[in-house]
Chains A and B, each alone.
With several copies, the nearest count.
Chain A
Amino acid sequence: MAEIVIKNVAKRFGGFTALHSIDLTITDQEFMVLLGASGCGKTTLLRIIAGLETPSQGEVWIGGKRVDHLPPRERGISMVFQNYAVFPHLTVFENIAFGLRMKKLPQTEIDRRVNRTAELMHIEQLLKRYSGQLSGGQRQRVAVARALAMEPDVILMDEPLSNLDALLRLEMRAELKGVLADSKTTTIYVTHDQVEAMSLADRISVMNGGKIVQAASPVEVYRNPAARFVGSFIGNPPMNFLPARRGTNGQFQVAGLELPGPVAGDALDFAIRPEDVEIAPTGFVATARVIEPLGAHTLVTTEVDGKLFRAVLDSDLKVAPGDELRLAPKPDRVRWFDPETTLAV
């Protein structure tokens, strides 16, 4: 049992508040992904859970035990640091074995675990090297292997795959997920890669400016953002927003289109994901500005009613800057936000 409960935790650095009263529960064996803009407090939150930082207020519970005043080594966690913190004076082998030696495991067990995690991370041929002789990605994998080898109750990973190429990431991701599920580890995983977040997470917590804005399943977060921020933050490219005003007929007027909307509210924000628009005669009038080929698709940045509006279209479409397009939102994918509270309606 390693449920993590964070109650009303805040962290201030001098005059700067990095975390405002965070409440979050990560259930046992859950895979929780933290997503959020750079500098929003993800690392700080992880460090508070790990015990590397004292919260300015609030409580941290792990496995039903209050751990605020326990040193990190007594919290049953292990961690992948954002900047790796691979020991430069130890070989890769000894780096991975570090925590195991602290636990005084027998040498055979240490060998077994080190080799296993090294293989998992594809660094088995580097075991004798020192960190100064590794590339950035290799070093990062050592950091991950070191944390995995501990087989902890709770593992905290701070952008553990950020320096890996796509292929390796894909592979590591799958393997991480498998290993962590097998070992029933509760995981908190910081990433800025949404695909990663989507494919790994049981739940995603979206943070913004030191607060948690939404904590829900990936599909939920993607489809039904709880706040405008979530919609604009998640999805690559992000959601498009257009101001909407209730017309006399009860319908909403959005950039010249008339759309059915929620019952409450007069002035709302209309939102749609770029991949949820199609070329159709009944759409918004959009002037193409930038065309970016993305491989299978093309990202077309257009201007709708003077506002930026992005659409992901099939790459077969021939379009040039300046062309006029008609972009129609898929009706069931339209979302509405209150412009004042920024919350979903």
Chain B
Amino acid sequence: MSATTTASDQPTPVQATRSAARFLFWACVFLICAWVLVPIYLLMVNALSSPEQVSGFPKSGLPGFDFSSLQFFAGFSGVGRALWNSVSVAVLTMVLSIGIGAPAGYALSRFDFPGKEVFRMLVVMTRAFPLPLLALPLAVMFIRTGLDDTALGLALVHTVLALPFSVLITFSLFSGIPLELEEAAWTLGCNRWQAFQKVVLPLVLPGIAASAVFAFTISWNEVFAAAVLTIENRTLPAFLIQNLNVSPLHLKFAGGAALVVPALVFIFAVRKYLFAMWGIANR
């Protein structure tokens, strides 16, 4: 993170530099990368192939560079708007779920108080209850209150889904920060919030970013609530993929790819925050 911390500055422990172990290690890395990448590659191959190639056999495993399927989606009226809606809902979800979840995670990690377990179970239950059933009462409520068909309304529902993640992840992160650092900040003139913001937050930022990314991808990929709760302001998945199941194969793949690619770009864009490691490794 700092300009002064170059790789060689870090104390380098003596490692078992036995070549066999190293080879095994890199073989593992390679295998896992392949495991992740090959299916993505195949999805892209199909997305870039013509309908005949997609349903043909045997497949070459090479893309046909036929953009018609993707173009079909690009030409779909309202894709731009849906993309924008998706992003705004996802960002709102991210903000809401961290904004609401992180304080709760902090409280769970720093305090012992009656009702702690009840709250924890409540959070977990949220994750354990099928959304399609909740959607009806929620939709009725939203229609009555005017939240229906707004980015905020959908973000609220997505926040219900993402909240368990943000609460539990931030809880575990905060548990990893020594209380003493916070105490030091208090004696240096911080109130709780400032100490949190200036000391704890920078240290857990990578983790917070991770849970924010979860929130984002949960919202990004959620179809059901989006399909029920948005009409004018459709999000991309509600727009593109809710009917992919009943669409021809080549469109399925193209639609899948159309949804995957922005998410990949997003993760790529935020990877720095996701994985930034401060000089805390040798605290």
Contacts and interface: CB of A to CB of B under 8 A. Distances in A.
A and B touch in the complex (CB under 8 A): yes
Interface of A: 13-14, 47, 50-54, 68-73, 77-79, 81, 83, 85, 87-89, 91, 98-99, 102-103, 128-133, 146-147, 150, 156
Contacts of A77: 187
B180 A83 contact: yes
Interface in B129-169: none
A133 to B, nearest CB: 7
Interface of B: 1-2, 4-6, 8-9, 11-17, 178, 180-181, 183-192, 194, 198-199, 202-203, 278-283
A132 B282 contact: yes
A73 B189 contact: yes
Contact of B12 (A53, A87, A147): A53
A150 B189 contact: yes
Given A99-B189, A102-B194, A130-B279, A89 B202 contact: yes
Contacts of A147: 187
A73 B8 CA distance: 24
Nearest to A75: B187
Contact of A72 (B2, B187, B283): B187
Given A54-B12, A130-B4, 5 more contacts: A47-B11, A85-B178, A147-B187, A150-B189, A156-B187
Contacts of A70: 14
Nearest to B182: A85
Nearest to B1: A89
Contacts of B2: 91, 130
A262 B190 CA distance: 56
Given A81-B183, A98-B198, A129 B4 contact: yes
Nearest to B17: A69
Nearest to B7: A14
B203 A89 contact: yes
Contacts of B280: 88-89, 132
A52 B187 contact: yes
B113 to A, nearest CB: 14
Nearest to B18: A69
| Residue of B15, B180, B185, B189 most packed against chain A (CB within 10 A) | B189
A72 B203 contact: no
14 contacts: A50-B183, A51-B186, A52-B13, A52-B183, A71-B15, A71-B191, A72-B183, A81-B180, A81-B183, A85-B178, A87-B184, A88-B203, A89-B203, A98-B198
